[in-house]
Amino acid sequence: MDNAGASRPPLLLISDLDDTIKISNTQSKLITVYRGLFRSSAFAGMAELYTEILAAQPGSEFHLVSASPPQIKKKIEFFLEKNQFPVAKIVLRDWWRQTSIVKYKLGTLLNLVEHAACQVLLVGDDTERDPEVFAHVAKRFPEKVAAQYIRIVKGRALPEGTLGFFTAFDVACAELAAGRLANDQVLRVGEVVLKAEKNSRLIPWFSIRPPARATPFSDDNPVAALWKAIQERILSIPASSQRRRPEKEKK
């Protein structure tokens, strides 16, 4: 890694858990409960991505904000440790007092961002209301929210200013373009994504199939070759392993 990170201001990285970094399938409540208790599969490269983001901005913090109940905090800690995520401050929902997930998420994020002494990165997914909650927070604190990243699972329309992503490498590339990550950091994240043992760690069966996308980098940038290799692997995943879009989502 270059030495530019020493001069970069710290960040507050706020991330969702289920279907953002952990493969949960929140579209099925039964599967979500089962995986919350017994499974600990992480999306390829997300731990490395968060590690690189924090390393690039010394003094940065990682907060995990989940609608999961406090009763499974130990299991979440085990998941983070097993998958080598950075140390996180975990914020969970009191199911008895905070019955609305949207109100809980919005209130928690507004409070964190308001009191943050630095810029914030928000990372979530489109299975529930993260896109709308993030957009509301960004509108309230436009000078503080540096980026809003949403993992594309359902493929629904995202609010303006939101960056959709399919893999950790997409976010790493966006952070490179924003000047918050260096080339070598992005390459490390990308190599982990490319070498994922299972296709399901890239694009799970319940997620929509990603489209072919042209590289946003010039051919002389080493990230471009990795972008193409990851694209080839993703597009080689058998279509039968991906769910079909609901009719209402087809255009």
Q: Could you give the number of structural domains in the chain?
A: 1
**pLDDT per residue as tens digits for the range 45-71:** 999 999 999 999 999 999 999 999 999
pLDDT at 244 over 60: no
CATH number at residue 61: 3.40.50.1000
Lowest mean pLDDT among 9-18, 95-104, 120-129, 136-145: 95-104
Lowest mean pLDDT among 20-29, 135-144, 240-249: 240-249
Q: What is the pTM of this model?
A: 0.90
Range of the domain at 221: 4-249
Residue 74's Cβ-side half-sphere holds a number of Cα atoms within 13 Å equal to 2
CA angle 153, 154, 157 (to 5 degrees): 110
The CA dihedral of 124, 127, 130, 136, to the nearest 10 degrees, is 140
What is the reported pLDDT for 96?
87
